[in-house]
Amino acid sequence: MITDIHSIERLSRERRDENWEFRYYLKNTNFSLERIDNTVHDLYREISAKIDCQKCANCCIVSSPVLKKADHLRLAKHIEMRPADFRNKYLVPDEENEGYMFRQMPCPFLQDKSCSVYDQCPTDCRSYPHLQKNNFVFRLAQAVENCSICPIVFNVYEELKARFWKRRFRLL
């Protein structure tokens, strides 16, 4: 298992074409969606149990969650700010997802690789890296992009390739 973020970033760049090719393969394979989801969920539990996100925090450093109205209202209340002041200080509109994104990166609430608003963090943060969700095949583009950001995603994706894809070469 690889956990060094610099190695993961480099390997993700080197394997970018391969990762997109595997995405295409997985979207068009005969494996059932349930089998793929179950495998992803099992791998996620196994790999995330071995990785301490607080030693990494790369997702909070390089990516921005989409905040819905309930997220920024909850955060504003938590830090005792008026919602409009909170939006003006911390957020910019994200027209693509009809929500908001943090104005700056890394996340303004990241302190020493730890979330200072963890109990009130945005829903998008709570579900990251989204591998516990169903219908993985419909979120493969997101997974490929997250390979370079998150050691958990990187290792899950590499293991998926080994289990579902590389096997086809052994049969030839």
In whole angstroms, what is the distance from residue 3 CA to residue 151 CA?
5
Please write the tens of the pLDDT for every residue from 92-131.
999 887 899 999 999 999 999 999 999 999 999 999 999 9
pLDDT of residue 171: 43
Q: Are 20 and 66 in contact (CB under 8 A)?
A: no
**Per-residue model confidence (pLDDT) at position 155:** 98
Contact 91, 102 (CB under 8 A): yes
DSSP readout, 42-94?
HHHHHHHTT--GGGT-HHHHH--PPBPHHHHHHHHHHTT--HHHHHHHHEEEE
Q: What is the DSSP letter of 129?
A: T
pTM as predicted: 0.91
pLDDT at 168: 56
> Which pLDDT belongs to residue 97?
75
Per-residue model confidence as pLDDT tens digits over 134-165: 999 999 999 999 999 999 999 999 999 999 98
Tens of pLDDT, residues 41-53: 999 999 999 999 9
Q: At what angle do helices 151-160 and 33-48 cross, to 10 degrees?
A: 130
What confidence category does residue 170 fall into, taking pLDDT thresholds of 50, 70 and 90?
very low
